[in-house]
Structure 1
């Protein structure tokens, strides 16, 4: 049976796309202070859009940085309340010359909309607003109560969001949190993500002599910080790809055979990954598939390595210092501080004589995992199947959204990650885009999900 909201969404599609373009034109780059006013403009645009959709109590809520946008509609016959989280900030656009069209001038080509934020996360936030509008316009009410919490600092680590949530628990109280900021498996294959890896990061600084030294006079007689750093970094992994830090795996929850079988049944094409990335082999911890390595196993990566002479030609010096940036992806039940402590202890234990090492800790966020048989996830599977006419996959994701775990912990609420982007849509890269096929089907999925939740029971 065709639902009333389906006709409304089809009839107003062109209008909705023009509205989304207006939102995407605002260069709300949270990482760059020059866009501070644009951040405010984007938040104010959301306020207007939420009000126009029929939401109530719409307001900008100040934080130490960019404002959070709140709205609600609390008149449902059901006693269930859904909290929708998203973010209106976007990544920087560099390198600009690689964009085929300007990043803040949205362009529709081949049924894809190209612009920074089209997929991550403005387009998906906008879909939730329009789904609510469609239900209110066609049915006069919503099947469940709903609240929106849309922030402007996700792309810089959400530094003010967790304190905001902690201070506003009553305002944000809900029965389920819904987030659309994760990818589908591939085109035509929707996915519900029930696990995210956590994150911790650090910088290593290695210092030798008081200044750069002539390699002819001092080479072989004074420790070279680049040699020392290379030795430290080489000690972090075994030959089979396993992290060699004592205690690194102590709290890792092992994969169940049921999960491993489910991943095998996805028939993931590792050969296609090699071809897409132009690498001869995939690499990682022995005994695990590519999906298992990237979804369910922790990692320790070198993200940056620098020191010494970088210019053209040769400069025969022993550099005075060398530097590296490291990050770890964590899985349940690893704690960021435990891992940082273990890695730092390993670094100091493997520091060669003649140099001094300092370790500076930077980002950190806990991993997140939900039981995939939870009723709110099962209801999401039903909604996806109605819109896409295929059963969605249950997946984990290798990336990190630290605030997901924070929301779940602070509000004691189940979290459903139901994204509509595709892995190849270049979020965080030039030519970011969003497939309009998933804009259309995603709207139907969200509407169906809200209706499913109205008659779903959970604690």
Structure 2
């Protein structure tokens, strides 16, 4: 059957698709806050009910944390040649600071700009409810127009992506046979710009952790002990400042082992893109790239490793003033990895780097929050070529093959545990303000995202 009738159905039912998205956006499924545990369950129940209504064998699966939603079309008991797996997450980030929102974060609204373009504003609009619903609505259109899906599909929605996915690996280990498919789709990615779709062909790895420097056995009065007692804030600041040299290179020994140079032809293609460092940074009030001095901002994001300090705590941080020398000071640190950098070796090297800089009367402890390697998608992957064809047909431009500065550990898990390549095809934009107040998702991204997935399903049937 021609996909044209399915696309016409999507256009006809767009308002209803938006209504359903708004229902999901109204559920405050904040996974990291225990106060919202019931809301996370409500979001999972809502999705399972929607998928059941489309003919999926759908269920909510308990975990030690937030539940998973698993759905199969047709039932997993039938022959499943050519089955694909679609992954998304229904949980969202906290909304603070609430006073910076222009609308209520869980009361979705469509905002029209001066140029007439429209955006959906709500927490989770882009990350990831709007994105996952593009696939659900594409499936809905196929079922409504043809009575079924053109290929067997399994859907996995998790509820802890925004809080580190602690239940995901155990769940995959326990359900490997059920979740295996020929290929996986992940929509938690973006476009190059409003007119140009993209497929992300590489992801940086991620190492996260905390370190705590301890000196005295209690907080000290700075008038009585100042100058004589070691201050952990000073020690921590000095160690963290040593992470980079004046040119922005990370100074941990062996850090760049396994970091490849970008191939000349790939770098030439990136250089040909209409990308401005100043415009990219200008949208967040900055001007100059701050990483490795000899690399463009685009190369820094897509192809270079990083060492970042994500938070620092030490001493009195409340209102007013308290003259203490703290007994402890802590920092949250993360590393983005590329190429074949080994996460375990990075952790060990960082720990050694810190210990070598500890002065007398100080000790350090470390807490790990997870580690995953970088990965890339083979250029000759058949599903990648189908994705390019679907995007080219829908957007009427050649889609870009780009790198991705973020990390999506599920992609590595799909490769290592289930033996599947993953197509990273989403419709977010850099200015969607994910994790920030006034998160938004373009109405065009939602509409054409649905149409793109509908085309993709049709191509997979061929």
Q: TM class by shorter-chain length?
A: over 0.9
Distance 1:230 1:4, change over 3 A: same
Please give the alpha-carbon distance, in whole angstroms, between the structure 2 residues aligned to 1:210 and 1:27.
42
Indicate the residue corresponding to 1:252 in structure 2: 259
Please give the alpha-carbon distance, in whole angstroms, between the structure 2 residues aligned to 1:345 and 1:261.
38
Residues 12-57 of structure 1 deviation map (CA, whole Å, 9 limit, x = unaligned): 11111111111111111111111111111111111111122232x2
Structure 1 residue 332: Cα displacement: 2.6
Indicate the residue corresponding to 1:192 in structure 2: 199
SS in structure 2 of the partner of residue 424 of structure 1: coil
Please give the alpha-carbon distance, in whole angstroms, between the structure 2 residues aligned to 1:64 and 1:205.
28
Q: Which runs of 5+ in 1 are unaligned?
A: none
Bigger shift: 170-179 or 139-148? 139-148
Structure 1 residue 313: Cα displacement: 6.8
> Is residue 234 of structure 1 aligned with residue 246 of structure 2?
no
Q: Aligned to 1:275, which of 282, 290, 293?
A: 282
Q: Aligned to 2:120, which of 89, 110, 113?
A: 113
Distance 1:333 1:129, change over 3 A: same
Q: Which runs of 5+ in 2 are unaligned?
A: 113-117
SS in structure 2 of the partner of residue 440 of structure 1: helix
SS in structure 1 of the partner of residue 283 of structure 2: helix
SS in structure 2 of the partner of residue 399 of structure 1: coil
> Is residue 298 of structure 1 aligned with residue 305 of structure 2?
yes
State whether residues 3 and 458 of structure 2, in contact with CA within 8 Å, keep that contact through their aligned partners in structure 1: no
Please give the alpha-carbon distance, in whole angstroms, between the structure 1 residues aligned to 2:380 and 2:271.
19
Please give the alpha-carbon distance, in whole angstroms, between the structure 2 residues aligned to 1:201 and 1:343.
11
Bigger shift: 109-118 or 83-92? 109-118
Q: Aligned to 1:418, which of 425, 437, 452?
A: 425
State whether residues 220 and 327 of structure 2, in contact with CA within 8 Å, keep that contact through their aligned partners in structure 1: yes
State whether residues 7 and 454 of structure 2, in contact with CA within 8 Å, keep that contact through their aligned partners in structure 1: no
Structure 1 residue 261: Cα displacement: 1.5
Residues 371-403 of structure 1 deviation map (CA, whole Å, 9 limit, x = unaligned): 233221121111011111111111111111112
> Is residue 99 of structure 1 aligned with residue 75 of structure 2?
no
Indicate the residue corresponding to 2:153 in structure 1: 146
State whether residues 232 and 347 of structure 1, in contact with CA within 8 Å, keep that contact through their aligned partners in structure 2: yes
Distance 1:218 1:194, change over 3 A: same
Residues 133-158 of structure 1 deviation map (CA, whole Å, 9 limit, x = unaligned): 21122223333211111111111111
Please give the alpha-carbon distance, in whole angstroms, between the structure 1 residues aligned to 2:415 and 2:291.
31
SS in structure 2 of the partner of residue 277 of structure 1: coil
> Is residue 389 of structure 1 aligned with residue 435 of structure 2?
no
Bigger shift: 220-229 or 84-93? 220-229
Q: Aligned to 2:405, which of 374, 398, 402?
A: 398
Indicate the residue corresponding to 1:341 in structure 2: 348
Distance 1:172 1:31, change over 3 A: same
Structure 1 residue 191: Cα displacement: 0.9
State whether residues 414 and 421 of structure 2, in contact with CA within 8 Å, keep that contact through their aligned partners in structure 1: no
Residues 213-232 of structure 1 correspond to what in structure 2 (within 5 A)? 213-215=220-222, 217-232=224-239
Please give the alpha-carbon distance, in whole angstroms, between the structure 1 residues aligned to 2:386 and 2:219.
63
SS in structure 2 of the partner of residue 439 of structure 1: helix
State whether residues 78 and 454 of structure 1, in contact with CA within 8 Å, keep that contact through their aligned partners in structure 2: no
Please give the alpha-carbon distance, in whole angstroms, between the structure 2 residues aligned to 1:316 and 1:73.
64
Structure 2 length normalisation: TM-score? 0.93
Distance 1:78 1:48, change over 3 A: closer
Structure 1 residue 312: Cα displacement: 6.6
Indicate the residue corresponding to 1:433 in structure 2: 440
Structure 1 residue 274: Cα displacement: 3.3
SS in structure 2 of the partner of residue 201 of structure 1: strand
Residues 216-268 of structure 1 deviation map (CA, whole Å, 9 limit, x = unaligned): 55444332222222221122112211111111111223321122112112221
Structure 1 residue 203: Cα displacement: 1.6
Please give the alpha-carbon distance, in whole angstroms, between the structure 2 residues aligned to 1:118 and 1:186.
18
Indicate the residue corresponding to 1:69 in structure 2: 69
Please give the alpha-carbon distance, in whole angstroms, between the structure 2 residues aligned to 1:426 and 1:104.
15
SS in structure 1 of the partner of residue 294 of structure 2: coil
> Is residue 26 of structure 1 aligned with residue 27 of structure 2?
yes
Structure 1 residue 354: Cα displacement: 3.0
State whether residues 206 and 323 of structure 1, in contact with CA within 8 Å, keep that contact through their aligned partners in structure 2: yes
Indicate the residue corresponding to 1:129 in structure 2: 136
Please give the alpha-carbon distance, in whole angstroms, between the structure 1 residues aligned to 2:103 and 2:42.
23
Residues 159-178 of structure 1 correspond to what in structure 2 (within 5 A)? 159-178=166-185
Q: Aligned to 2:370, which of 363, 366, 369?
A: 363
Distance 1:61 1:298, change over 3 A: same
State whether residues 59 and 69 of structure 1, in contact with CA within 8 Å, keep that contact through their aligned partners in structure 2: yes
Structure 1 residue 277: Cα displacement: 2.4
